[in-house]
Structure 1
Amino acid sequence: MKKSLLLSVISTVIVAACQQPAPPPQTVLVEDSSLIDVPDTVTPETIIDSITTIKADTISYSEAQLLGKWLQPVPGVDKATQGFQLKKNGGITSINTYSMVYDKWSVSHDTLLFWSHIEGRPQKDSAVVIDTILIRSLTDTSLVLFPIKAAEGYIEEYKKAAKKK
């Protein structure tokens, strides 16, 4: 129910933003993999505010809890890992994932938002992808995520990389 409500609110915010007069639109790929035109007036804060409004009673995680390198095994490749590094103030770097380049990240309660684009294409010409991911659990060493566009029951498990001394 909460997932459906969250998707509905996010869709409503994006649709409402599309109906306002604005500068030339940029193309955004939303969770249902359809392309829509969203004016530049839609900001991360707009999306986060809409999520915050309906998630007031949920578990909340802070940026500080999520900072660091999060890795998982590469399927079918022994001893290889992939993932991302979450940095302060929305900085993010992909680790061993080459086709998508992360631009920024944000957290609101139990929801992560990742902005990315396709490698090799100028950001203005390529679709901006906003992935919405629910945090199922978080410890000092483990992060379990559920991308909302994934099949029910699918999860992604990451381990926090030890800091180098």
Structure 2
Amino acid sequence: MKKVFCVIGAAITLYSCGGNNAPGQQTETANAGKDSVTPDKPQIIGRWTEPIPGMEKETQGFELLPDSSAKSINSATLLYTKWWLKPDTLTLVSKSIGNRTEGIDTTSYLIVAHTQDSLILKDKELILRYKKN
């Protein structure tokens, strides 16, 4: 009987000290959205543009800054504000201010290809091809 109480006491102690998170889970959640520029992809920082549909001589896009903030390029109604990078995924936070409505959107893009001067992103069936300026 004494062994049973010792086992139960030990289990309660371990449970109360352990919390509800699996190892590493709290760290991942706490770091979500923070500056996560990985050392192997520092070249993603910079200005990325694509032709404006119907006005191919003009470009639009975004600038990714080292502090995880972002800026829009030639877009008055879609304002990029923040970004982060996870393996094979670029997430952009933007504020839409068009059509008399405002809204915040967070979109994660699969990085299909990335070189020093080219970035190809995919969101469902949409493929976006950017050049670095």
Query: What TM-score, normalized to structure 1?
Result: 0.53
Q: Which residue of 2 aligns with 1:157?
A: 129
What aligned pairs does 1:100-139 form with structure 2 within 5 A after superposition? 100-119=78-97, 126-139=102-115
The answer on whether the counterparts of 1:61 and 1:107 sit within 8 Å (CA) in structure 2 is no
**CA 1:78–1:127 in 2, change beyond 3 Å: closer, same or farther?**
closer
* Deviations 1:41-69 (CA, angstroms, capped at 9, x unpaired): xx783468xxxxxxxxxxx7855121111
The unaligned stretches of length 5 or more in structure 2 are: 1-28
**CA 1:98–1:108 in 2, change beyond 3 Å: closer, same or farther?**
same
Q: Which residue of 2 aligns with 1:45?
A: 31
The answer on whether the counterparts of 1:142 and 1:160 sit within 8 Å (CA) in structure 2 is yes
Supply the distance in 2 between the matched residues of 1:61 and 1:110 (Cα, whole angstroms): 14
Larger radius of gyration: 2
Supply the distance in 1 between the matched residues of 2:53 and 2:131 (Cα, whole angstroms): 15
**CA 1:44–1:137 in 2, change beyond 3 Å: closer, same or farther?**
farther
The unaligned stretches of length 5 or more in structure 1 are: 1-42, 49-59
Q: Which amino acid aligns with 2:120?
A: V
What aligned pairs does 1:3-18 form with structure 2 within 5 A after superposition? none
Secondary structure (helix, strand or coil) at the match of 2:55 reads: coil
1:75 equivalent among 53, 56, 61: 53
Supply the distance in 2 between the matched residues of 1:126 and 1:61 (Cα, whole angstroms): 35
Q: Which runs of 4+ in 1 moved over 3 A?
A: 60-63
Supply the distance in 1 between the matched residues of 2:40 and 2:104 (Cα, whole angstroms): 25
Query: What TM-score, normalized to structure 2?
Result: 0.65
**CA 1:78–1:157 in 2, change beyond 3 Å: closer, same or farther?**
closer
1:118, distance to aligned residue in structure 2 (A): 2.0
Q: CA RMSD in A?
A: 2.6
Identity %: 34
The answer on whether the counterparts of 1:94 and 1:101 sit within 8 Å (CA) in structure 2 is yes
- Structure with greater strand percent: 2
Supply the distance in 2 between the matched residues of 1:63 and 1:44 (Cα, whole angstroms): 22
